[in-house]
Amino acid sequence: MTTIIREMREQFNPAKPSECIGQIELFTLDETKAVVARAQKAFEGWKNTSSIARGEILRVTADLLEQNSEKVAEMASREMGKTKGEMLGEVKRGASILRYFAQEGMRATGEVLPSTSEAKVLYTKRVPLGVVAAITPWNFPVAIPLWKIAPALVYGNTVVWKPSIEAALTGKLIGELFEQAGMPKNVLNVVQGRGSKVGQVLLEAPEVRAITFTGSNGVGQSILNTAGPTNKKIQLELGGKNAAIILADANINRAARLTIEGAMKQTGQRCTATSRVYVEEAVYEEILEHLIIEAKKIEVGVTMGPVSSKGQYDAILSAIEQAKSDGAELVLGGCPTKDKSEGYYIDPTIFTNVTHNMAIAREEIFGPVLAVMKVKDYEEAIRLSNDSEFGLSASIYTNNIQKAFDFIERSEVGLVQVNDETGGAEPQAPFGGMKNSSTGAREQGQAAKEFFTVFKTITIGTQSI
């Protein structure tokens, strides 16, 4: 018998980096290949399982997730830094995602079509792809994995899931809940490891028919380069540099509050976070004052957690220094939180006097940093809002219904918000962006079946042979 020696990795609490919260065993390359092979073997039985039965396992998993919400939220909070309150909300959202897709098992998977011949029956059905590789990030360690895994499973695919190494313990917990719910062996497989090793195996494995990934643009491009030529289906959710527009007729208090929530919730570590805001000059000074007031209400360490890691901490502080060097004016924050003796805490940060060619106006920071820019009018605001390589989410605050609908039509993003912050997604609605923010079919809602299934068209001759 061959003994497998796995590398052990310690996980540390970003709120208290000296605290080891557990260890995770990292899979070897050969072990990962064997997991993929077992998932391929399990596919035949799983795809022939009733879709209603598949959905029932998701429903039971949702119940178990809610029953273990405290445990999951506590683990995720200690592992990647999001406050426990935010994580409890995410766990609740995860249960909603599971329940939504559980119901997909009862919905139609095709349609009967008219034929030109009276002696034929013509219909379609959606069929699963096979083994799906899900590669997920650390910033939403429950919700994002579930909105990939749940549709993949209910539509009849088997899944090999690689959670982010920064959220490995949380991923292990989620996998155990599926197992407790009665998921058959080798249908959902959790593999732990670094993307450069384990992830690469998933990209190259011939048994893997589809790859769904959420993460950075750099990694997304490498996935395209590696897996693109292999005829695998690829779904990428990548970066964002999401803009908010505040017009002079907006509700000032609401616009300021929601803009700060959009920028600072989850410590700004969301691909949909508000990163830049364009304010009509007539209300610029008033809005800026309200933005600062709202940001000062945040209690670092209570209502806003640390960033996820030392690498993330250093990158955000470097971006702040770059903005100052470029000539942007720091009006709030911009430094590590002074009353925190340890932990990767950064104060909510606001810059003004930002020009559109500065890095802070164009590059994703993924932290609690907001760039505020004055514009002459709505036309300048939407032009600058659209002037980005990203196109994930954007919002407008206005009571002018004509401008609101004009914004809906002209904004070059996949998620449009009117009088609401740039973040947020519901399980029943498609999620995804334009430009360099997304590649492939949308996630969530009915749109999910576009990625996780393929149409089969059937013709039956009804005449006697």
Residue 349 confidence (pLDDT) above 80: yes
Same domain, 214 and 336: no
Could you tell me the CATH number of the domain that includes residue 275? 3.40.309.10
Q: Is 329 within a domain?
A: yes
DSSP 301: T
What's the pLDDT tens digit per position in 27-80?
999 999 999 999 999 999 999 999 999 999 999 999 999 999 999 999 999 999
Give residue 235's pLDDT band: very low, low, confident or very high (50, 70, 90): very high
Q: Is 316 within a domain?
A: yes
Same domain, 38 and 125: yes
The rounded percent of the chain whose pLDDT value lies above 70 is 99
Structure confidence at residue 186 (pLDDT)? 98
Q: How many domains is the chain partitioned into structurally? A: 2
Could you tell me the CATH number of the domain that includes residue 58? 3.40.605.10
Give one DSSP letter per residue of 412-436, joined into a string: -SSEEEESS-S----TTS-B--EET
Q: Is 430 within a domain?
A: no
Report the C-alpha gap between 350 and 338 in whole angstroms. 17
Structure confidence at residue 424 (pLDDT)? 80
Torsional sign, CA 144, 145, 146, 150: positive
Same domain, 289 and 333: yes
Q: Is 23 within a domain?
A: yes
Same domain, 315 and 330: yes
Same domain, 232 and 304: no
Same domain, 230 and 254: no
Same domain, 314 and 170: no
Structure confidence at residue 5 (pLDDT)? 67
Q: Say which residue, 340 or 288, is predicted with more confidence.
A: 288
Residue 102 confidence (pLDDT) above 50: yes
Both tokens of 208, joined, read 């893997």
Residues annotated as catalytic (active site), given as ranges: 237
Same domain, 234 and 248: no
Same domain, 342 and 452: no
- The residue segments making up the domain with residue 323 are 242-418
Which residues have a Cβ under 8 Å from the Cβ of 168 and sit 6 or more positions away? 9, 11, 24, 79, 192
Residue 3 confidence (pLDDT) above 90: no
Stretch (H or E) spanning 383: helix 378-386
Cα–Cα separations (whole angstroms), residue 387 to 192, 346, 413, 427: 38, 28, 11, 29
Report the C-alpha gap between 161 and 211 in whole angstroms. 10
Same domain, 71 and 47: yes
Q: Is 428 within a domain?
A: no
Q: Is 381 within a domain?
A: yes
What's the pLDDT tens digit per position in 144-196?
999 999 999 999 999 999 999 999 999 999 999 999 999 999 999 999 999 99
Taking all residues of the chain, what is their mean pLDDT, rounded to a whole number? 96
Structure confidence at residue 4 (pLDDT)? 64
Same domain, 227 and 192: yes
- SS3 label, residue 42: helix
**Range 191-205 average pLDDT:** 95
**Range 306-319 average pLDDT:** 97
Residue 2 confidence (pLDDT) above 70: no
Residue 354 confidence (pLDDT) above 60: yes
Both tokens of 24, joined, read 């995770």
Report the C-alpha gap between 158 and 222 in whole angstroms. 24
Would you call 31 exposed, middle or buried from its count of C-beta atoms within 10 A (0-12, 13-18, 19+)? Answer: middle
Question: What residue spans of 48-142 are helical by DSSP H?
Answer: 51-67, 69-80, 84-104
String of b and e for 281-311 (b: at least 16 CB within 10 Å)? eebbeebbebbbebbeebebeeebbbbbbee
Same domain, 119 and 226: yes
Residue 465 confidence (pLDDT) above 80: no
